[in-house]
Amino acid sequence: MLIEHYRSYHNKPDAHQIIEDFREDQHHDTEDKADYSPDQAQIIYYGFHELSPPVAELLQYAMQTSVSAIVMVSPAIRAVFPDSIGKNLNMAVPPGKIAGTMIGLEHMKRISRTSPSKIVFLVMDGVGGLPHPTTGKTELESARKPNLDHIARDSLCGLIDPVGPGITPGSTPGHLALFGYDPVKYDVGRGIVEALGIDLQLRPDDIAARGNFCTVDDRGIIADRRAGRISTARNAELCRLLNDIAINGADISVIPVKEHRFVLILRGEALSPELADSDPQQAGLAPKKIEALSPGAERTAEIANQFVSQAGSRLKNEASANMVLLRGFSRRPDILSIPEIYKLKPAAIAAYPMYRGLARLVGMEVLPTGESIEGQMESLCQHYGDYDFFFIHFKSTDSRGEDGNFEAKVQAIEELDSALASLLRLDPEVLIVTGDHSTPATLAMHSWHPVPFMLKSRWCRPDNVVEFSERACLAGGMGRFAATEIMPLAMANALKLDKFGA
């Protein structure tokens, strides 16, 4: 109904009349607007590739009034909307859906099929960047990367939004979106992913939280969220110091992960994971009090806050790791696995525990690998005949970005590029290179900026992109699109999907 309204008004010059007609229609049309608030005028704009003057006037009117316009658009349109629209124009879609995503996991489950083709999914964590203030080039544009650029010349390219425009993703939602899971629907806590990454055997009611050792000053303000990236050996010593903390109502376990990271496990009766984080996610602020997010979680919040207080007392004389930060309180969720959805035999090659845990969560076999990207490529070659989907995770681009070290992030990109020769010799039927989010060194943190993407396949339509970078991929054939659309593209180009519908 609303689509027909739009088409009938496509050349109508009076945007105000369109608004009034939609307001009038609000009282009669329920089928198309079942998911929307009844007191809003809805303008649904599907897939047109240029804004005609009447539509531009309509959007301008919406921005100047209290009217909310819900716009579902093609990647080409999403890429040209100015950020200022977001102030008054709700760039949204019906609840529970992601812009541009029409096929859900249940549909993918029905149309996926097995085939002998291979998919290699290389994730350069935090690869997206911003221009250096001196050179005007991003880290990708500054790096010498002949292999990545060679792949780009034979690929379909674009920019992805892991969660949505303007939303800064955490690592877990960023990766879940890459694997086709709606990151809003599948809101998986960081704690359970870290725990699975170090092979912890958890009971169904156990609660896991990701912990950081951090540095606070004499005022209790965070100076370094990662305590100078202390060694894993020192981390283990500090975890032993905290492991005998006793709190009524819960058994406490503190397990080292890697560098400054640890996992806190709470085990007891009637505990709840509905807790806010103590980690403010940036330096210059004090750790937050852990708040209950539901009435049933108040006792668990008290236990968690007691742990933080006792940990601070025991660590107060440490030079750097003198406090802890907690986030991502969670239990293991019930989630469809990649083998169930896509009928794939998937394997993960990841050095960092968190990403190994995430891979286990979605049903991947985690392969043994070394710490270096060269070791990861050796693992790929060794196991290439045993699986048909490989997730390869490269962490250094994110770590160096978070450190604010532009030159080191450039070096990390060049390090990965130099290790790609063995992967290129394998020549998988589908090769995807992208990231889970951007981590510009100039910001020294995760950011909301879209992430470069490329897909190489015999069956793709290569575009005119000749370089793997943010600006180059902006002109790619995919435009700007949701990360959840990658897996259907991968499956299609691997000839692993049946036709949808009759």
Q: Which helix (H) or strand (E) holds 433?
A: strand 430-434
**Could you tell me which residue, 422 or 89, shows the higher pLDDT?**
422
Q: What's the rounded Cα separation, in Å, for the pair 459 and 414?
A: 28
Q: What is the three-state SS of 365-406?
A: EECCCCCCHHHHHHHHHHHHHHCCEEEEEECHHHHHHHCCCH
The answer for residues whose C-beta is within 8 angstroms of residue 402's C-beta and 6 or more apart is 126, 439, 444, 445, 446
What residue spans of 120-218 are helical by DSSP H?
Answer: 139-142, 146-153, 171-178, 190-197
Is the pLDDT at 158 greater than 70? The verdict is yes
Residue 103 is predicted with a pLDDT of 77
Residue 201 is predicted with a pLDDT of 87
Residue 91 is predicted with a pLDDT of 36
Tokens at 341, concatenated: 């959805």
Q: What's the rounded Cα separation, in Å, for the pair 20 and 160?
A: 35
Residue 81 is predicted with a pLDDT of 41
Q: What's the rounded Cα separation, in Å, for the pair 342 and 106?
A: 10
Q: CA nearest 207: which of 286, 304, 122?
A: 304
The whole-model pTM stands at 0.74
Residue 373 is predicted with a pLDDT of 97
Residue with tokens 């019906």: 94
Is the pLDDT at 5 greater than 50? The verdict is no
Least confident of 15-19, 248-252, 384-388: 15-19
Is the pLDDT at 286 greater than 80? The verdict is yes
Classified as helix, coil or strand, 273 is coil
CA atoms within 13 A on the CB side of 160: 34
> What confidence tens digit (pLDDT) does each residue in 291-329 have?
999 999 999 999 999 999 999 999 999 999 999 999 999
DSSP type of residue 26: T
Give the mean model confidence (pLDDT) for residues 376-383: 97
410, 148 contact by CB (below 8 A): no
Q: Could you give the percent of the chain with pLDDT greater than 70?
A: 80
Residue 24 is predicted with a pLDDT of 52
| 363-370, long-range: CB < 8 A, 24+ apart | 363/337, 363/338, 363/339, 364/338, 364/389, 364/391
Residue with tokens 């006037």: 57
Give the mean model confidence (pLDDT) for residues 148-171: 97
Classified as helix, coil or strand, 483 is helix
Give the mean model confidence (pLDDT) for residues 103-119: 94
In the chain, the domains with their CATH numbers are: 2-87 (no CATH), 109-185+344-493 (3.40.720.10), 193-330 (3.30.70)
The answer for residues whose C-beta is within 8 angstroms of residue 224's C-beta and 6 or more apart is 214, 215, 283, 320
Q: CA nearest 260: which of 308, 215, 223?
A: 215
Rg of the chain in Å (alpha carbons): 24
Give the mean model confidence (pLDDT) for residues 102-130: 94
Q: Which helix (H) or strand (E) holds 267?
A: strand 261-267
Residue with tokens 């699986």: 387
Quickly state the pLDDT bin for 17 (edges 50, 70, 90): low
- Number of CB atoms found within 10 A of residue 186's CB: 18
- Number of CB atoms found within 10 A of residue 39's CB: 9
Angle at 332 between CA 203 and CA 449, to 5 degrees: 150
259, 229 contact by CB (below 8 A): yes
- Number of CB atoms found within 10 A of residue 84's CB: 9
DSSP per residue, 202-261: --TT-EEEEEEEEEE-TTS-EEETTTTT--HHHHHHHHHHHTT--BTTBEEEEEEEETTE
94, 42 contact by CB (below 8 A): no
81, 91 contact by CB (below 8 A): yes
Quickly state the pLDDT bin for 57 (edges 50, 70, 90): very low
- Number of CB atoms found within 10 A of residue 420's CB: 20
Residue 102 is predicted with a pLDDT of 58
Query: Would you call 139 exposed, middle or buried from its count of C-beta atoms within 10 A (0-12, 13-18, 19+)?
Result: buried
> What confidence tens digit (pLDDT) does each residue in 441-485 have?
999 999 999 999 999 999 999 999 999 999 999 999 999 999 999
Task: For strands 207-216 and 323-330, give the pairing.
Answer: antiparallel
**Could you tell me which residue, 2 or 123, shows the higher pLDDT?**
123
Give the mean model confidence (pLDDT) for residues 205-224: 96
Task: For strands 480-482 and 155-161, give the pairing.
Answer: parallel
The answer for residues whose C-beta is within 8 angstroms of residue 17's C-beta and 6 or more apart is none
Give the mean model confidence (pLDDT) for residues 438-443: 98
- Number of CB atoms found within 10 A of residue 219's CB: 7
Least confident of 70-84, 177-191, 375-389, 483-497: 70-84
